[in-house]
Amino acid sequence: MNRIYFSIIIAASSSLLCATANAVGDTCPNFNESTLSGDWDGSRSRLCEKGVTVELTHKSDLLANTSGGIARGAVVLMNSEAAVSMDLDKLAGWNGTSAYVQYHVQHGNRSINAYSGSFAGITNIEAVTSTGQFFQAWMQKNFADNRLSLLGGLYAIDSEFYVNDVSGLFLQPPYGMAAEMAQTGRNGPPVFPMGALGVRLKYTGDGYYAQAAVTDGVPGDPNNPHGTQIRLGKGDGTLAVAEFGYTPEVAEGQYNKTAVGLWRYTARANDLVDVDAFGNPVQRFDRGGYVLTERTLMAEPGDPAQGLAGFARVGFVNKDAWQVDWSGSAGLSYLGLFDGRDGDTAGIAVTTSHSSGKYRLQQWLQNAVAVKSAETIVELTYRAQLNGWFALQPTVQYVRNPNMDPALKDAWVAGARIEVAF
């Protein structure tokens, strides 16, 4: 079924003579410079001006656990993606309306975590299995001079919530959706690789925004990770998330954002240790919150986008129900560190996942294991933009206390990502 859906997307995109997914903006890129397949004799630019754009990208990660962890070993993981964006005001005269469809395919059945033993993960394109699925498919309507917007459909919360743009450089998963929230729910929250049906309301003011979303509480099908699974099962409940952000005006390409968010599932989570009178796990509220910030720390003279930027964030969840009760991340990135390499970005970041007291007690009671208090990972990376459509990104990661398991030695992971925009 997913092959049929994917064919429909590609056929529709081809019949429209496609483009690339900044879609609902007024400025179209130079496709001959930014994509491998070019401007198709001007067709992509003409269609972009009419409000339809398509992005085709591919990422491949070659990663090796060189020492420590569970075992030495290497994997190749790949993610291919097609995304179609439509400004329906330009395309069909629907004032203030846009649509977006995103489909991706994961390749590679082996897990780098099976070698490193990491709790937080090593790469943000790893999935449970090789499959293809719709990730997002939604429509959005703007009101009040585009200050207010309502979105509905298949939606991923990490596209707008708990987002640090600066941290997007790094390969590790917790620089997207943080580790403490990623572990929650019955099948995780609606983040890569699975979205969920939901609605999102957002208001953007002068230097601030407020947004809230409600989604299905169980994205996909926990018993079937293959293909696109959209089901509203009995007892799934919902996930609600709200965020307020402060975003004062800065020069183009610079960062200045501080945000706070809260989230909660209506379905409850099992306590890791405590049971009721019938021997069943006590049910706990499944909820949490987070704070994040990012900003440009130093800009190069003559180009405000070039220079040093930093980010930091911390999040917490119910300490009775999950392995990790809080996690925190911080990092630095520098765009254009070396002369003549203005498109390259260097970065270093660290993330810590703290084991909850209940998890440590559970492991002691069940396995007589005194687990470590936290897993910490440091990542050093350099993204070389070799041309407009091809990037090479080496990475080195040091994993201290993998999965908080005292039996595992600290791990070293090295590898590289290639990224191609078609």
Residue 419 predicted with pLDDT over 50 = yes
Give the pLDDT score at 223. Answer: 87
Q: Report the amino acid identity of residue 91.
A: L
- Banded model confidence at residue 11, pLDDT cuts 50, 70, 90: very low
Q: What's the pLDDT at 6?
A: 37
Helix/strand number for the chain, H first, E second:
7, 18
Q: How far apart are CA 342 and CA 300, in angstroms?
A: 11
Strand partners, 298: 308
| CATH code for the structural domain at 2-421 | 2.40.160.180
Beta bridge partners of 352: 328, 376
Tokens of 117: 């033993």
Question: Is 3 a residue whose pLDDT tops 60?
Answer: no
3-state SS, 197-210, equals EEEEEEEECCCEEE
**What is the rounded distance in angstroms from the CA atom of residue 115 to the CA atom of residue 354?**
21
The reported pLDDT for the residue numbered 391 is 99
pLDDT bucket at 343, cuts 50 / 70 / 90:
very high
pLDDT in tens, 86-127: 999 999 999 999 999 999 999 877 899 999 999 999 999 998
What does the domain layout of the chain look like in residue ranges? 2-421
What CA–CA distance (Å, rounded) separates 192 from 319?
A: 24
pTM: 0.90
Phi and psi at 113, nearest 5°, equal -65, -25
CA gap 234, 113 in Å, rounded? 32
* Whole-angstrom distance, CA of residue 353 vs CA of residue 126: 19
Say what percent of the chain tops pLDDT 90: 85
Render pLDDT for 124-140 as a digit per residue (tens, 0 to 9): 999 888 899 999 999 99
